[in-house]
Structure 1
Amino acid sequence: MRERGGLWRLADYRWWFAADTSGALSGSVIAFAMPMIVLAMTGSSLVALIVEAGCVVVQTLVGLIGGVVQDRYDRKALMMVWGLSGFVLYGVSAALIVVAIGSGSASDAARPLASAPWAVGAMILLVLLFSVRDGLLENTSNAMLRGVVPDADLPHAMAVNDARDSTVTLVGGPFGGMLMALGRAVPFVAGALLGAVGALSAWRIAHYWHRDPAATQSDSSDSSVLSKAGDDETGDALPRFRDAFGGLIWLLKDPFQRHLSIAAAAAAGAGNAILLLTTIEASQGGTRVISAGFVDAATSVGTLVGALVASRLIDSIRSGALVAAMFAMLAVGFLGAALAPSMPVKVAFVVCAVLAMPAGNAVLGGLSNLLVGKDKLGRIEAGGTLLQYGAYGLALAMSGMGMQWLGYRGTCLALAGVIAAAAVYALSMRALLTLPTPDHWGDHVTAWHIATF
């Protein structure tokens, strides 16, 4: 039986968590502030949206190279570089904002304040550098997690991360708004300080998996799943940059992973599109009952509640049942949101839809991590991210056309249908439905001949 609170007794995990949380909070604050700064400097919402879209594309494509970087080099060092580069880039951005548009509050954000083209060009260049940094290094902490905590604690650590991410989402916007009220450069100063905290916290991590041939034998896991991964722990075969698509290819080539990855990406993409449409409907639908911001906040609350319960469920309920509950609640919840007559009822259905996500994500993430060698986690993260962004982009394209032809309700019904189809597709695998609790995953993988990478 797992010892209660054992995860937090690991000093290295606590330092990892501090570093990861610093990065998550700084990212949330900057993501809130940056579009407002670009809008203030250009006076064009179109330019702000184009820059934002370009950043997503750059981050996603560079992320494929980032996966190789994270698998090839020491992840503790990369986490330190991640924090220090944030300190430098956010600090330079704060200085540029003060010089170019002054340190006033966000109340003037809708007015163009920088007439000098060099200032606009410099800020856009910095924003693109943010995206390159994110693509290369942002997923390093996720890839490093399994090298910090025991395999048995990995699903619980992922549930904790879901709770943390929901909390950051809840407080990130208001916190960023408060900082913007103090001054346009203040969010970037805060981001720089958080970057320094993240680098210092990463530096304090002492025991973790890394490529060290001398430590190959002592570092090998006792998990029967990992023992089947061949020589992936030896560190002898360094990944090459032409291997950038290796993770994506394996996710789509292996039948079990392909089934699961496509279903998860489709459900997540359609669900996020419904959330975006619901937010737009709340802000433009002529109702004052619920603000657009409250839609995101309520979703975060639902995820946070689910994450707080997830750790208690992972050890006591079969993992297949938790995954089935996640897909079922996503389908039913978002279908109810599409059919609900009022905005408060829609939000209530959305909250119900995401309640089981943390437990299901912890199971799927923990299982996928255990099927993959520690030296390949970066490329798997990059491949999964590309699938998720691709599915979300396709869902948004469908939504744009659907809103013109079908309206809000019809479009959300179509997207809910995609989620239902993804749920049926995923749950048609008996190997997934019969997945036991984490302590029996090794035997299950052997019995069902599930491939490792």
Structure 2
Amino acid sequence: MTTARWRPPGRLGLAPPVDGTGGSRALLRNRDFQTLWTSRFFAGLGKESGEVAYPLLVLVLVGSAAQAGAIGAAQVATAMVASVVGGALADRSNRRAVLLVCDLGRLALLALFTALLFTGHVSIPLILCVAVSSAALTGVANPVAMAAIKQLVPAAQLADAAAQNQIRLFGTTALGAPVAGSLFNLGRAFPFAAEALTYLASSVLLMSVRGPMQADRGDGGRWNLRGAVSGFAVLARHPILRPMMAWILGFNLVFTQTGAFLAIIATAESQGASHLQIGMTVSLAGSGGLLGALVAGLVVRWVRPSTTFLVAAWSAPVGALALLMAPNVILLGVIVGCVFAVVPCANAVFYGYVAASVGDDLQGRVLGAVMFLAMLSQPVGILGIGIVFDQAGPGWVFLTMACVSGAAALCSLTPVMRALPRPEEVSVA
């Protein structure tokens, strides 16, 4: 079992940048990491566009928002469970082979589905089967790809790599919807044909990664359920990851993207806002995450982790109280965008700690546990926001968001969180 140890971190606040071996320029010259990053960008773009294309297809075929929502919920649940399986595979199997199987599997699945769409042989059960199967392969692939970073990137570059991954995450989220919508206007099958091509591109790039994606560890031992879920035990014992994960759970209850968008859209509609105003509000809110991802690398290099985590933790309750007092609809989007802007920075620090302080033999299982827990609270939070809004109105929604996120932010005041080391200062024993 691996444990974390660190050197005294020094004072909080602004810090000098790390040396050239840990900077973004050195990371840009890391061919294997950049190739893997580009591969995962294509796969992520396919996944995000598919998440928009499936409900569009269901609405066109049967006009049922409930059935479209049910398919979306099934995708989330499947990906959540599959991430734990993927984490176990990442620690006991050839990571490159697992990623190729997932990408080629999605390629074959979407190619067949596209052919069926062109011939008109598509039904709701078939759409559900394809969507869930694709989500399962995505859930398996995500922790495997992230676990490989530890072997492709030197320790001094791990935090920068985590920051660059945030650009990929928020970039594909921003691009997925317009890509899917534009292609859907050309024909029902086109978004899924394009998604299949993204997995083809991802597979080709994967095969050009030259470096090993995992450390030598023999046969990896026999697979069993206890071993597969051991990542949860590591999170529970880790002095840094445990309070950070507790904050993530609390934050996702009330400030997951879907939940926050639901809150501001419902509020805007209750105030009689036009569809144009609502669209602008959601766009402003969503752009915050992408802007934050673009500067996350600078934040990781220049700002102490304790400061980053403190700002991220308390921006949520402060933002929720600001929503309560916002005088107009557009300002709702600006406030949520500001909250979302600090999320990629906190994510980069968190995943930097995972990569640096968890041994390669446990990387996948810990990342699988992280993804499971991060997704677990989201549907609960989305449902809760809807119920509170229906029963009590927007004021109580924002007050509830402030109370829940404020309770979660208390984690940032513990002695460990107030004296965090840099991710590259954490070593594995």
TM superposition score category, shorter chain reference:
0.7 to 0.9
2:311 aligns with 325
For these two proteins, the number of residue pairs brought into alignment is: 407
1:244 aligns with 2:262: no
1:107 aligns with none
Change in CA separation of 1:86 and 1:338 when aligned onto 2, cut-off 3 Å: farther
Q: 1:116-138 CA deviation, whole Å, 9 max, x = no partner? A: xxx33322222221122222223
Retained in 2: the 8 A contact 1:247–1:383? yes
What letter corresponds to residue 185 of structure 1 in structure 2? A
Question: Larger relative CO (CA 8 A, sep 6+): 1 or 2?
Answer: 2
Q: 1:73-118 CA deviation, whole Å, 9 max, x = no partner? A: 11111222222112111111111111226xxxxxxxxxxxx6xxxx
2-structure distance, mates of 1:146, 1:6 = 16
2-structure distance, mates of 1:173, 1:284 = 25
Change in CA separation of 1:15 and 1:255 when aligned onto 2, cut-off 3 Å: closer
2-structure distance, mates of 1:401, 1:362 = 32
Give the Å deviation of 1:193: 0.7
1:334 aligns with 2:327: no
1:99 aligns with 2:119: yes
Matches within 5 A, 1:108-147: 119-147=123-151
Change in CA separation of 1:254 and 1:380 when aligned onto 2, cut-off 3 Å: same
Give the Å deviation of 1:298: 2.2
Q: Secondary structure at the match of 2:296?
A: helix
1:305 aligns with 291
Retained in 2: the 8 A contact 1:82–1:138? no
User: Mind listing any 5+ residue stretches in structure 1 that lack a counterpart?
Assistant: 102-113, 214-233, 443-451
Q: 1:143-173 CA deviation, whole Å, 9 max, x = no partner? A: 2222211121111112112122222222211
What letter corresponds to residue 132 of structure 2 in structure 1? L
Aligned sequence identity (%) = 24
Change in CA separation of 1:163 and 1:236 when aligned onto 2, cut-off 3 Å: closer
Q: 1:224-281 CA deviation, whole Å, 9 max, x = no partner? A: xxxxxxxxxx775455344222112332344543322112211133112233321343
2:178 aligns with 174
Give the Å deviation of 1:212: 2.6
User: Given the two structures, how large is their TM-score scaled by the length of structure 1?
Assistant: 0.83
What letter corresponds to residue 430 of structure 1 in structure 2? P
1:445 aligns with none
1:377 aligns with 2:363: yes
Retained in 2: the 8 A contact 1:331–1:420? yes
2-structure distance, mates of 1:274, 1:188 = 28
1:446 aligns with none
Retained in 2: the 8 A contact 1:65–1:241? no
2-structure distance, mates of 1:291, 1:81 = 44
Change in CA separation of 1:392 and 1:124 when aligned onto 2, cut-off 3 Å: closer
Give the Å deviation of 1:432: 1.6
1:423 aligns with 409
Q: Secondary structure at the match of 1:13?
A: helix
1:361 aligns with 347
What letter corresponds to residue 32 of structure 2 in structure 1? D
2:71 aligns with 51
Give the Å deviation of 1:200: 0.5
Give the stretch that moved more between structures: 289-298 or 173-182.
Answer: 289-298
Give the Å deviation of 1:403: 1.5
Match of 1:264 among 230, 238, 248: 248
What letter corresponds to residue 332 of structure 1 in structure 2? V
2-structure distance, mates of 1:146, 1:296 = 36
2-structure distance, mates of 1:285, 1:99 = 45
1:16 aligns with 36
